[in-house]
């Protein structure tokens, strides 16, 4: 038979357990409420609407998981970069890669390498082609697998400005519609696109052939720039890539994953995806105040991703292919003329 002391202890234990359960339930309710508020704010910020309540509920659950992942990653403090919410925070990693990348390494063209010896003394310690007027505003490929076209165009825009002292936004849509060696919104590769521009006699301006974000019928239009060809940087050679970027913006491939999708700021050092699936342009390089070297990446996901559409990607990581594979298949156009 329980003594009065034992009864008091049992009552106290039960009271603590009830209070704990109530507190946890209240905390969960408050947490769900705060996540719901964050979701509503995020939807308003990015103009997101859904077809019905079922789709909204599905997107809320994905948003919640992404938010939890972002907060856990940032609070752990194990990496130098930060993750954050962006226009893609209601998409799973698989959905995002399927709808916002588009690299297809399907070229039958031979590798065209003509690397000149590297002279480190001639290469500045940092370079930003934006400051030299050779980079157009950040663009947005939308839900079309046309990253390859944006990477190609960014490189052509860069060398055209460097050669002709005139910055023109060129047409990704022309490549999507007309380059039969690539697959439009179903993916492609920059070497094929460079070859198309050469064989086609040039590329149109964005204003004459604007981006639609869907596969279309090839249009005949005035061409604004020509290239004589392209060159491939020797594979997995970061020194030669540095030399190439010191001369002009360069098209590269990268492996995208959830961390890449949610990147917000500072030097991204991985982990990356296991297979290259996206194309971007390197438009410079530099180092942070504490000496961490990086590539300056121009992406095609709009200005609300990353650092206003850009990423600092770790340089000299010591990994084969670079931290995200950026040294594996780098290329650039040659001899642009108007």
Tokens matching residue 101: 């990348």
| SS3 assignment, position 71 | helix
C-alpha–C-alpha distance, residues 268 and 189, integer Å: 24
Q: What are the residues facing 301 on neighbouring strands?
A: 140
Catalytic: which of 86, 182, 195, 299? 299
Residue tagged active-site, from 147, 178, 272, 324: 147
Residue 63 to residues 88, 251, 270, Cα–Cα distance (Å): 9, 32, 22
Catalytic residue among 144, 183, 277, 278: 278
- Count CB atoms within 10 A of the CB of residue 129: 25
How would DSSP label each residue in 97-119?
Answer: HHHH--B-----SPP---PPPP-
Q: Pairing relation of β-strands 278-287 and 293-298? A: antiparallel
Q: From CA 153, how far away is CA 93, in angstroms rounded?
A: 26
147 is annotated as an active-site residue: yes
| Coil, helix or strand at residue 66 | helix
Query: Which residues are tagged catalytic?
Result: 147, 278, 299
């Amino acid at each position: 038979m329980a003594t009065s002391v034992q009864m008091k202890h049992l009552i106290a234990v039960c009271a603590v357990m009830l209070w704990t359960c109530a507190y946890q339930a209240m905390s969960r309710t408050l947490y769900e409420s705060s996540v719901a508020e964050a979701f509503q704010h995020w939807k308003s910020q990015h103009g997101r609407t859904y077809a019905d309540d079922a789709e909204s509920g599905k997107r809320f659950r994905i948003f919640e998981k992404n938010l939890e992942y972002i907060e856990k990653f940032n609070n752990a403090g194990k990496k130098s970069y930060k993750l954050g919410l962006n226009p893609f925070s209601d998409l799973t990693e698989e959905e995002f890669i399927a709808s916002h990348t588009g690299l297809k390494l399907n070229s039958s063209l031979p590798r065209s390498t003509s690397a000149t010896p590297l002279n480190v003394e001639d290469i500045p310690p940092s370079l930003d082609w934006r400051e030299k007027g050779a980079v157009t505003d950040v663009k947005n490929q939308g839900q079309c697998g046309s990253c390859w076209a944006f990477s190609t165009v960014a490189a052509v825009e860069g060398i055209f400005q460097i050669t002709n002292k005139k910055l023109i936004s060129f047409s990704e849509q022309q490549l999507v519609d007309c380059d039969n060696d690539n697959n439009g919104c179903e993916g492609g590769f920059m070497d094929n696109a460079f070859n198309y521009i050469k064989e086609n006699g040039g590329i149109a301006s964005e204003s004459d052939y604007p981006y639609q974000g869907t596969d279309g019928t090839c249009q005949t239009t005035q061409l604004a720039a020509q290239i004589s060809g392209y060159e491939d940087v020797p594979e997995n050679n970061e020194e030669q890539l540095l030399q190439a970027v010191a001369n002009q913006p360069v098209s590269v491939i990268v492996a995208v994953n959830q961390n890449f999708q949610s990147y917000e700021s500072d030097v991204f050092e991985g982990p990356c995806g296991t297979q290259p699936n996206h194309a971007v342009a390197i438009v410079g390089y530099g180092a942070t105040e504490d000496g961490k070297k990086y590539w300056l990446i121009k992406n095609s996901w709009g200005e609300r991703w990353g650092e206003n559409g850009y990423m600092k990607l770790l340089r000299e990581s010591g990994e084969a292919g670079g931290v995200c594979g950026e040294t594996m298949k780098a290329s650039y156009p040659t001899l642009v003329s108007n």
